[in-house]
Amino acid sequence: MLEIFVGAKFKFMEHRRFAYFVSGSLILISILSLAIHEGPRESIDFTGGTVLYLDLSPQVPVGEVRAAAQKAGLGGVQVQMSEDGSQAILHFGKNETSGDAFQNFEKELDQSHPNVQLTLLSQDTVGPKVGSELEEKATLAILWSLVLILIYIAWRFTRFSFGLGAVIALFHDILITLGLFSILNREISLTVVAAFLTIGGYSINDTIVVFDRIRENMGLIRRMSFAEVINKSVNQTLSRTVLTAGTTLLAVIALFFLGGPVIHDFALAMLCGVVVGTYSSIFVASALALDISNWWTRRKQARSAGASAKTAAAR
Amino acid sequence: MSNLRWKWALLVVVLGVFGWYLVPTIRYYSMPPDVRASNAPRVDKIREGAMKLGLDLQGGSYLVYEVDLAKIPKAQRRGDEVDRAIEIIRNRIDQFGVSEPVIQKQGQDRIVVQLPGLTDPERAKELVGKTARLEFRLVKTKQEFYQALAAMDQAVARWQKLGGAAADSTLLAAADSAAADSAAADTAGASTNPFTRLLTQPQNPDVGYAYVPAQNYDKAYAMWKAVAYDSTKEEPRVLAGNTVLLWGDRQFGAGTENPGRYIYALSGRPDLTGDQVADAKVAFGLEPARPNAPGVSLTLDKRGAAIFTRLTGNNVGRQLAIILDNTVKSAPVIQDKIRGGRASITGLQGDNEAKDLGIVLRAGALPTDLNLQEERTVGPSLGKDSIREGLQASLVGLILVVLFTVLYYRVSGIIAVMALLINLFFIVATLSMLRGTLTLPGIAGVVLTIGMAVDANVLILERVREELRNGKTVRGAIEAGYGRAFITILDSNLTTLISSVVLFQFGTGPIKGFAITLMIGIIANIFTAVFVTRLVYDSFMAGRTVKKLSI
């Protein structure tokens, strides 16, 4: 049979410092990027405004499209054109919420280029009220998601170090994906938020499989240290983790390249989320569980050492 | 043994039931597009049972309007404005001919309008949002016109003195009361007739309207808007002598040497309104000057007809202005007393304008303004493209995953793939059963499910491989593998399920579609991975001693 990672004996726990370093750097870069751009770039779903996606035939030079667009809408407009100049994306700011942007643009373009055939591919207009409502909904969705997942983890993993490790890994995954979007200057739209929530579910999913195996192997703790148990468990689940990531990635890659512009950003988020999520499940979550557990044990020992020292002194 | 038979029977029954619900969807979407769009009862029945396509796949508009109750003073609100608006919109859309529109109330003052399959979304929006206030007002005599102009001049002078920004009714009130001390007080420096100066008298001097040439138009319009028009109520203000000033349609004078606009002095209150219109039809030949131009022929109701008869009877020789949304469309001279309550609207721009006007007048005027809050419009070509791209991505994703699975797990891989295909079958069948809507993110959800579905099988198969490596018999390995993997399968799918439930709860249309396909996919996944594949293995091993497993 074709097999990968059989009898794998990678020393994950021994090298966890390296993983921390990598993760730390990625997180730092993400935070820096977010700080520089003053937060994630929000699409009109949250800021309000109008986006027109148009087809022009024959092509019109971008400068002239921009000129017509500026006359058509209120406030500034950003114009993006496809490489062959046949499609344009007009992005009006939050002042243009009348819904008439396309009609006005059509009129303006008709005046300067009467022989150009203009087709509306799609129009999205979000008024200010709806924009803030959608923002609220997205925030609520994220919060509820987190709360429910936390409750679930707390119920499933009675060891505090496991739960905390899983949660930190989750935040780690989402933060890095957010950072990627910030660096690439991609917009966060409702669909992208949906992708983030799905990544959240997937990441915890992955981590749970590893932790399940660790728990199963805890019986061996008599013969091995905690670190060795974790190592063994991660190695045992390695093939499954990589395989699942593999098939999911195959599907997401198909979406990324073939799914069309509407799903493109969604697929990007999923791509990053799956890769980082798998990495964190293997290298980060269990490493954290180990370190948190050790820290906790040390604390308990220190306390009881202090207590027994006191009682000894008291006698 | 009979245990196995029952299980197979159960599986067949389940597949059969779901398959039954899938039939309408298959039938509907394999029909050619023109048949699909028809309203034949046979087609309607199939459509009812089929899965729906979201607006992002069919093309169409999703519109959210807010009913502007603030415009109606509290005392005049009847409490049913939103419901009335919904009825009127529904009426208009019905006449426009959109298949399966959805018009719903949202919250206290919002209306959601969904119009699938539109080829001309801009026209539909116009239709829905038009206030369509129709009024008939008599055109004033020349004297009355001049009176009003004098008042205008005063008010404009005052407005200019104030810097030309603030605009409210006090300017007019001051003008009215100061009508007595006109000339002397206000001539300091400023011109005496700031407004009237801009007008040109028409050739026939004895009429209550004037012409504003193009070069003066912007100025005159600004003055009028500031002083003689209430922008909040969207009504003209009443000037001295119970007169209002309204502009004529822009196209008058177009094509002549001096394009501009007419301005009319009209009755302070409408003599007849659109409420009295019983029917409105598109008709041709209403304008002798433009015999091929379309117009709208109105039939008034009993009360309207009576008023109309009296009005025309008392005012032969005068002009009656027909006003749409505060613009004078035409002002024909009353030749004779008109009985029978018929009138016509001319001066329209084209067939579509006439048709839409007819629709709007038949359905009635909206009680107040509708403000667009949100619009998501997808044109038909993008919709088709999205379907194609979505299906392509699904197919390629499926092929990649299938290839990989079979390569890695061989025959067991084929069983896993079979389970995956049953998964897909369940997703589409359930959507069909629930008459759910498939959106583009929904297709993405299906693709994701394809990728994640293999996970459950991987968990089982990896366990089985492990057990085999540990030296168990084939039968033992399978039992142990399934047993231990089951809890992990549940666990791992549960968190993704939690995410999709939250998304379903808080998501808007397309995202709800994603959440639905994901949820169905996950549940189907658990079922097929645990029940179906096990069944296959058990049946294979029944009554045999299997030594080797192709896994």
pLDDT profile of chain B (551 residues), mean per 10: 82 92 88 78 83 88 88 75 86 81 89 86 81 85 86 84 65 51 43 78 76 81 84 79 84 59 87 83 81 85 87 86 85 78 78 82 79 89 89 92 88 85 92 89 89 83 82 82 82 86 89 91 88 82 68 68
CA distance B83 to chain A (A): 21
Contact B373 A127 (CB under 8 A): yes
Three-state secondary structure along chain A? Answer: CCCCCCCCCCCCCCCHHHHHHHHHHHHHHHHHHHHHCCCCCECHHHHCEEEEEEEEECCCCHHHHHHHHHHHCCCCEEEEECCCCCEEEEEECCCCCCCCHHHHHHHHHHHHCCCCEEEEEEEEEECHHHHHHHHHHHHHHHHHHHHHHHHHHHHHCCCHHHHHHHHHHHHHHHHHHHHHHHHCCCCECHHHHHHHHHHHHHHHHHHHHHHHHHHHHHHHHHCCCHHHHHHHHHHHHHHHHHHHHHHHHHHHHHHHHHCCHHHHHHHHHHHHHHHHHHHHHHHHHHHHHHHHHHHHHHHHHHHHHHHHHHHHHHC
* Chain A residues near residue B441 by CB distance under 8 angstroms: 191, 194, 263, 266
Contact B447 A255 (CB under 8 A): yes
CA distance A259 to chain B (A): 5
Residue of A nearest to B403 (CA): A247
The residue behind tokens 């990598």 is A22
CATH topology of domain A16-41+130-306: Multidrug efflux transporter AcrB transmembrane fold (1.20.1640)
Considering only CB atoms, A240 lies closest to which of B400, B462, B515, namely B462
Q: Do the Cβ atoms of B308 and B336 come closer than 8 Å?
A: no
Considering only CB atoms, A197 lies closest to which of B378, B459, B499, namely B499
Contact A255 B393 (CB under 8 A): yes
CA distance A171 to chain B (A): 15
CA distance A4 to chain B (A): 9
Q: Determine the 3-state secondary structure of B282 from DSSP.
A: strand
Contact A202 B452 (CB under 8 A): yes
Q: Is B380 on the interface with A (CB under 8 A)?
A: no
The pLDDT of residue A269 is 94
For residue range A180-233, list pLDDT tens digits in order.
999 998 999 999 999 999 988 888 888 888 888 888 888 777 788 888 888 888
CA distance A69 to chain B (A): 17
Considering only CB atoms, A130 lies closest to which of B64, B502, B507, namely B64
Considering only CB atoms, B454 lies closest to which of A209, A247, A253, namely A247
The pLDDT of residue B187 is 43
Residue of B nearest to A192 (CA): B511
Q: Is B6 on the interface with A (CB under 8 A)?
A: no
Q: Is B107 on the interface with A (CB under 8 A)?
A: no
Residue ranges of domains in chain B: 2-18+379-541, 60-129+373-377, 134-347
CA distance A225 to chain B (A): 23
For residue range B25-68, list pLDDT tens digits in order.
888 888 887 777 777 888 888 888 888 888 888 889 999 999 88
Residue of A nearest to B384 (CA): A121
Global model pTM greater than 0.90: no
> Could you report how far apart the first and last alpha carbons of chain B are, in Å?
24
Considering only CB atoms, B458 lies closest to which of A119, A134, A240, namely A240
Q: Which two tokens stand for residue B411?
A: 């025959």
Q: Which two tokens stand for residue A224?
A: 């091995």
Contact A191 B441 (CB under 8 A): yes
Predicted ipTM > 0.95: no
Contact A205 B408 (CB under 8 A): no
* Chain A residues near residue B495 by CB distance under 8 angstroms: 149, 152, 200-202, 204-205, 208
Domain boundaries A49-126, corresponding CATH code: 3.30.70.100
Considering only CB atoms, A198 lies closest to which of B372, B454, B499, namely B499
- The B residues from 65 to 94 touching A (CB cutoff 8 Å) are 66
* Chain B residues near residue A145 by CB distance under 8 angstroms: 498-499, 502
The pLDDT of residue A116 is 84
Contact A251 B451 (CB under 8 A): yes
CATH topology of domain B60-129+373-377: Alpha-Beta Plaits (3.30.70)
Contact B496 A205 (CB under 8 A): yes
The pLDDT of residue B167 is 57
CA distance B67 to chain A (A): 14
Instruction: For chain A, 315 residues long, give each residue's pLDDT as a single digit of tens.
Output: 566 766 677 888 888 888 899 999 999 999 999 999 888 888 888 988 899 998 888 888 888 888 888 877 777 888 888 877 788 888 888 887 877 888 888 888 888 888 888 888 899 999 888 888 999 999 999 889 888 988 888 888 777 788 888 889 999 999 999 999 999 989 999 999 999 999 888 888 888 888 888 888 887 777 888 888 888 889 888 888 888 898 899 999 999 999 888 889 999 999 999 999 999 988 999 888 888 888 888 888 888 877 777 777 766
CA distance B551 to chain A (A): 6
Contact A250 B405 (CB under 8 A): no
* Chain B residues near residue A255 by CB distance under 8 angstroms: 393, 397, 444, 447-448
Q: How many cross-chain Cβ pairs, A to B, lie less than 8 Å apart?
A: 220
The pLDDT of residue B181 is 43
At A98, give phi and psi (nearest 5°).
-75, -20
Test the A interface: residue of B352, B405, B458, B506 with most A CBs within 10 Å: B506
CA distance A167 to chain B (A): 13
Q: Is B122 on the interface with A (CB under 8 A)?
A: yes
The architecture (CATH level 2) of B2-18+379-541 comes to Up-down Bundle (1.20)
Q: How far apart are CA B393 and CA B399, in angstroms?
A: 10
Contact A246 B492 (CB under 8 A): no
Contact B397 A119 (CB under 8 A): no
Q: Taking CA B241 as the corner, what is the angle to CA B240 and CA B246, rounded to the nearest 5 degrees?
A: 75
Residue of B nearest to A201 (CA): B496
% residues pLDDT > 70 (chain B): 90
Contact A145 B502 (CB under 8 A): yes
CA distance B35 to chain A (A): 25
Residue of B nearest to A260 (CA): B389
Contact B397 A130 (CB under 8 A): no
Query: Smallest Cα–Cα separation from B330: which of B367, B306, B357?
Result: B357
Average pLDDT, chain B: 82
Q: How far apart are CA B17 and CA B14, in angstroms?
A: 5
Q: Do the Cβ atoms of B431 and B517 come closer than 8 Å?
A: yes
Query: Smallest Cα–Cα separation from A50: which of A113, A109, A131?
Result: A131
CA distance A273 to chain B (A): 13
The pLDDT of residue B185 is 43
Contact B496 A266 (CB under 8 A): no
Contact B492 A209 (CB under 8 A): yes
CA separation, residue B357 to residues A292, B128, B296, B308, B342 (Å): 72, 11, 7, 21, 16
Considering only CB atoms, A250 lies closest to which of B404, B466, B515, namely B404
Contact B444 A244 (CB under 8 A): no
CA distance A192 to chain B (A): 10
